[in-house]
Chains A and B, each alone.
Chain A
Amino acid sequence: MQLLIQCCVLWFVSPEGIEALCNDVNVNHTDVRMLIFAWKMKAEKQGYFSKDEWRRGLKCLGADTRPKLKKAIEGLDKELKVPECFEDFYSYAFQYCLTEEKQRSVDIETICELLNIVLKSEFPNQVNLLVEYLKVGKQLFKLIYVQNDYRALNMDQWRSFYRFFKEVDFHDLENYDSSQAWTVIIDNFVEWLKEKEKN
C-alpha cells in the first residue's frame, strides 16, 4: 500500500497524473473501465482524485500492489453485470461530466461520446441511431412549434435513454405510447425513427 501511495503522489492531483496511471495499467483514459474506476472511487471532480477517493477505490478493488491494480482495472467491466449497479454507474457517468458549480446539463457532443462509452457494448444499434438523431435530427423539426433544438441535455433526459433502450423494441415502434411520460426528446426521437423507416 505504501508503494502505491508513494506512486500516487504523482498521480492524484492532476489529469496528467491520471494519464500516467492509465499508461501504467495499460488502459486508455477514454476506456469505460477508467470511468468505472472513478465510479468506484466516487470521484467528484473529473480529472482529479482526492486522497480519500483514491484510498476508497483501491479498497474496493482489493488492490494493494501495482500488478493487482492493473489486473483489477482490466476486469472492471464485469462490475456492471448487475442492473442496479449499472443504473447507478450510468447516472454517475452523467454527473461526472458536470464540471461547473451550478451546471445541470451536458452538451450534445459530450453526451454522444458518453453514450458510445457507456452503452454501446450493450445496445450498439440503438446508440448509433440516437447519436445520429442528436447530431443531425434537429434539422428536421424546424416546422414543429415546440422547439426541438437541443444543445444540452439534463440528467432526467440522460436517464430516460437507458430506460428507453431497455424497455422499447426498436422494431416495434407502433406500440410506443407518448402519453406514458417519456421525455419529450424521446417522443421526438421515436417520430424521427418512424419517419426514417418510411423512407
Chain B
Amino acid sequence: MGSIAAQLFSGLSRDIKSGSSLGSVNVDLQTDATLQVDISDALSERDKVKFTVHTKSTLPNFKQNEFSVVRQHEEFIWLHDSFVENEEYAGYIIPPAPPRPDFDASREKLQKLGEGEGSMTKEEFTKMKQELEAEYLAIFKKTVAMHEVFLCRVAAHPVLRKDMNFHVFLEYNQDLSVRGKNKREKMEDFFKNVVKSADGVLVAGVKDVDDFFEHEKTFLLEYHNRVKDASSKSDRMIRSHKNAADDINRIASTLYTLGTQDSTDVCKYFLLVSLPLQKIEARVAADEDLKLADLLKYYLRESQAAKDLLYRRGRALVDYENANKALDKARAKNKDVLQAETSQQVCCQKFEKISESAKQELIDFKTRRVAAFRKNLVELAELELKHAKGNLQLLQSCVGVLKGDT
C-alpha cells in the first residue's frame, strides 16, 4: 500500500474553483459583495485535509478586503457547534455541519490493489489505479464542496454572518487550536444526545397552539424519516450500479486483452465491443450519485437541523408554559411573585423571539428545498438523457460496423 497510497495521498491539491459544485445542493445563496466566502484550494495529507478558506469582504470589521486562511475539518465542527450552543441563535436553522472527509473506503481499495499488483497485467493495473485515483478525486471534490456550502450558508444568513466566531474563523491566520473532543467530552455529548432525544419526544407530544408550527412539526417528522430512508436506499442502489460498472470495466479490459492478443476476426469484434461497454454504466452511476444521493443526504441533514429548530422552540414553549403555571401558582400563594414574573417574562420573550424567526426560517427552508430539488432533478434528467443519447450513438455505430461486414 505504501508507495501507491503515499503518492496519492500526499500533496494532492486541487484548484477547487474549476470543479466547484457550489450551488449543486444549495441554490439561492445571495452572493452579495459585502461578504463572499469560498474554498479556493485544498490539500490532502496522510490523514487530514487542509482547506484554504478565501474571503472577500467590504465589511469594516475585517482588517483587509481579501484574505485567506487554512482550516481543517475540526475547526469547521467547532464553528458549527458554537452556533448550536449559542442561545441567541436558537431561533434559526443552523446550517448542518459538513461530514468528515472519509477516504477509508478508497484507501482500502488502494491497499487491495497494491497487494494484488502481481496478479494482473500491467495494463489492468494502470487502468484500475486510474479508476481509483478518479474515485478518490471525486470524493475529495465532494468533501470540499460540502465544507464550502456550509461556509456559504453561514455567510448568506443575515444574522449568522455577523457572528464573532465566524469572523475569527475566517480571519485568524493561525491555528485555532481546536482540539477534537476527547473521550470524556464525547461521552458527555453522547449522554446529552440521549437526554435531548428523550426530551424531544416529550416536547413533540405537546400540541402547539399555532397551526403553522403544528403542521410543520408533523410534516418535518415524516419528511425527515422518509428522506433518511430514501437516502440509504439510494446509496445502496448506486453502490450496486458502481459494482456493475466495475464488472463491465473488467470485461472490457479482458476483451481488449483478447482482442490484442489474437489476430482473428473475433478479436476485432471484441475490441469494438469493449469501447461502448466501458463508458455506459460508469458515468451513469457517477451522475446519479452526485445529483440524487448527495441531494438526499444534504436534505437529510437540513431537515434534521430544521427539526432541531422546532425542538428548541418546543422546548421554549414548554418552558414558557411551565413559567406561566409557576407564575399562577406563585400568585396564588403570593410568594416569590416577582421572581416568577421575571422568569415568565424571560421565557415569553425567548419563546416569541424564536417563534418569529423560526417561521421565516422554515419558510425559507421550504423554498430552498424546492429549488434545490428542482435544480438537481432537472440536471439529473438532462445528464441521463445526454449519456443515453451518447451511448445510443456509440452503440449504433458499433452495430453498423459489425453488421456492415456481411
The answer to whether A and B assemble together is no
